[in-house]
Amino acid sequence: MSKNKRGLRGLAATAAFGVMALGLSACGGGDAGDGGDDTTTVGFVAVGPEGAWREANEQNIQDTFTEEAGYDLKYAPATNLDQKSQIDAFTSFVDEGVDVILLSATESTGWEDSLKRAQEAEIPVILLDRGIEPDDTDLYVTRIAPDNLEVSESVANWAVGAFADGAKYFVLEGPAGVSVVNERNEGWDKVMGGNAAFTKVGAQTANWSTDEAKSVMETALKANKNDIQLVFAQNDEMGLGAVQAVEDAGLKPGEDVRIATIDGTKGALEALAAAQLSFVAEYNPLFGETAMEVVEKVLDGEDVEPYIIVPSETFDSPEAAEAALPERKF
């Protein structure tokens, strides 16, 4: 019998699972377990290739849950970001009886049935980065991620400070249906929504892509006769696409149009150091250690917070970027 069932049955504490485990321990928990195998099997339902941030995050998880550390990590990246491939991987992990499932959802909706199956199989599920909607915290143990509302609020607060007389702005969004996109809009609108000095001339998805963002921004600049002073790009790759579009329009990024991004990858800090970007809010991808601590606690039946926030910082000048670049790991 795998590690978690022993831990869960033995100790009965985690929030959602606590309830279920209680039920289990209350009924004495059936078969006694093999006590031998201490390797923890982890099914990682991942997003797969999607840019610098994703690569850093998923590599960090793989570099943390190693055999030496007592883990057998089964990495299952989605096929072309397709949710069905994620649900299939999730289902096979449940059927296989892994000890714990880590989930980075490509889509926020459509997870109820899968999560219920994991619960019936007593397999704790930990969300990494992405949330689910509706956010039923009874269906998973915890979510580990930076705080998207706080991160995007920090971008909006910078903009309010940077544009004393306000500005006309455009938002480059991530893919529709992804929780972090909704959360980043919510944080931005919380600050910008009520500020009459700022005018939203448009918002459009560019799917986290530099090329798509470039073409979306080219169209937006043309449609607005270059009368856009601020761009909020929900990730670095899209921000770099906006830089290209602004330059191709004969405008100066950082002067005529100021561009702010979220992620904090090397490429964006280099563009900030070169004054092409004006503000970068980190969305720290390196939370493998935190995830492993949480897995240990959960399998030992300990309680964990329903949302574990990964600290992130911001960069508001070329100097700040230059100072951070030498040690940058992603």
Q: CB-wise, 98 or 310, nearer to ligand AHR?
A: 310
Q: CB-wise, 59 or 226, nearer to ligand AHR?
A: 59
- Determine how β-strand 314-315 pairs with β-strand 279-282: antiparallel
Distance CA 63, CA 59 (A): 6
Least distance in angstroms from the C-beta of 171 to ligand AHR: 14
Q: CB-wise, 17 or 330, nearer to ligand AHR?
A: 330
Q: Is the four-CA dihedral 205, 209, 215, 217 of positive or negative sign?
A: positive
Least distance in angstroms from the C-beta of 211 to ligand AHR: 15
| CA-based nearest residue to 103, from 72, 78, 68, 70 | 78
Contact (CB, 8 A) for 112 and 136: yes
Least distance in angstroms from the C-beta of 10 to ligand AHR: 35
Q: Where are the beta strands (DSSP E) in 5-130?
A: 40-46, 71-77, 100-103, 125-128
Q: If DSSP codes are grouped into helix, strand and coil, which group holds residue 88?
A: helix
Least distance in angstroms from the C-beta of 262 to ligand AHR: 6
Distance CA 81, CA 148 (A): 21
Q: What are phi and psi of 71, to 5 degrees?
A: -120, 150
Q: CB-wise, 51 or 124, nearer to ligand AHR?
A: 51
Q: CB-wise, 167 or 269, nearer to ligand AHR?
A: 269
Distance CA 14, CA 21 (A): 8
Residue 299's alpha-carbon distances to 10, 14, 40, in angstroms, are 10, 9, 9
Least distance in angstroms from the C-beta of 88 to ligand AHR: 21
Q: CB-wise, 154 or 235, nearer to ligand AHR?
A: 235
Distance CA 194, CA 179 (A): 23
Residues in touch with ligand AHR (CB under 6 A): 50-51, 53-54, 129-130, 180, 208, 235, 262-263, 283
Lookup result for tokens 């992130």: 312
Least distance in angstroms from the C-beta of 6 to ligand AHR: 33
> 134: cis peptide before it, omega within 30°?
yes
Least distance in angstroms from the C-beta of 299 to ligand AHR: 26
Distance CA 280, CA 17 (A): 38
Distance CA 174, CA 240 (A): 14
Q: CB-wise, 51 or 187, nearer to ligand AHR?
A: 51
Least distance in angstroms from the C-beta of 39 to ligand AHR: 29
Least distance in angstroms from the C-beta of 148 to ligand AHR: 8
Q: What are phi and psi of 127, to 5 degrees?
A: -85, 135
Q: CB-wise, 206 or 262, nearer to ligand AHR?
A: 262
Q: CB-wise, 54 or 74, nearer to ligand AHR?
A: 54
CA 266 to chain centroid, in Å, comes to 17
